[in-house]
Amino acid sequence: MYQEDGFIVLEPNKQEFLTYEELLEKLKNILFNRKDNLPHELQNIKSLESQAKYLMENFCDLEMGPDTYLQWYVVRLEK
């Protein structure tokens, strides 16, 4: 079984490599600032940590505005 070594994160005019913990923290910050405008799938999840984990593990993008998305893709460096 493969294990994730990190994530490539794409934003408009920017790309970066983040660890699991760094991406989780980034998503938590974004969701905290959007707590009144959460994606439908997250609205019934109570804790910010659980929302961010669910988003990270079940999706690969988040709409940030009109035609603007944050995208992330798992990177596996070795078998």
Q: How far is CA 66 from the centre of its chain?
A: 18
Residue 79 — very low, low, confident or very high, per pLDDT cuts 50/70/90?
low
Report which of residues 68 and 78 the model is more confident about. Answer: 68
Q: Full-prediction pTM beyond 0.75?
A: yes
Domains, the chain, in order of start with CATH, read 6-75 (3.90.940.40)
pLDDT at 1: 40
Which residues are bridge partners to 11 per DSSP?
14
Q: How far apart are CA 79 and CA 46, in angstroms?
A: 36
